[in-house]
Amino acid sequence: EDQVTQSPEALRLQEGESSSLNCSYTVSGLRGLFWYRQDPGKGPEFLFTLYSAGEEKEKERLKATLTKKESFLHITAPKPEDSATYLCAVQGQTGANNLFFGTGTRLTVIP
């Protein structure tokens, strides 16, 4: 059974204090690992897709990496506007390209 565990559940950072969010996964035949950002009261917003171990992708202050068992979302010198819940999801070989989501990490960046 596909499983995604995100840690920590919540993270408070000072502005400029870099850190990483973790997404551990178990899936039969990984087709893709996805990161989304969700602001309160809004739908998830797509950030990255990673397909194979060793792959990395960057966007502004965010960098996502992938190994065979986990993914990290590194946040460098965060700003208050980076405050959001970050969701990780995996796509396995079962179902019609369906995603299985973790419960997210709620990030708060304090000015």
Partner 1 sequence: NAGVTQTPKFRVLKTGQSMTLLCAQDMNHEYMYWYRQDPGMGLRLIHYSVGEGTTAKGEVPDGYNVSRLKKQNFLLGLESAAPSQTSVYFCATRRYEQYFGPGTRLTVT
Which positions lie near partner 1, rule CB under 8 A? 4, 32, 34, 36, 41-46, 49, 87, 89, 95-99, 101-104
Element (H, E) at 58: strand 56-59
Q: What share of the chain is helix, strand, coil (3-state, %, to 5)?
A: 5, 55, 40
Give the whole-angstrom CA distance, residue 22 versus residue 6.
6
Taking the complex as a whole, how short is the minimal distance between the CB of residue 30 and partner 1, in angstroms?
15
Task: Please report how close the Cβ of residue 58 comes to partner 1 at its closest, in angstroms.
Answer: 17
The distance of closest approach from Cβ of residue 57 to partner 1 in the complex, given in angstroms and rounded to an integer, is 12
Nearer CB in complex with partner 1: 78/87: 87
Nearer to partner 1, 65 or 91 (CB): 91
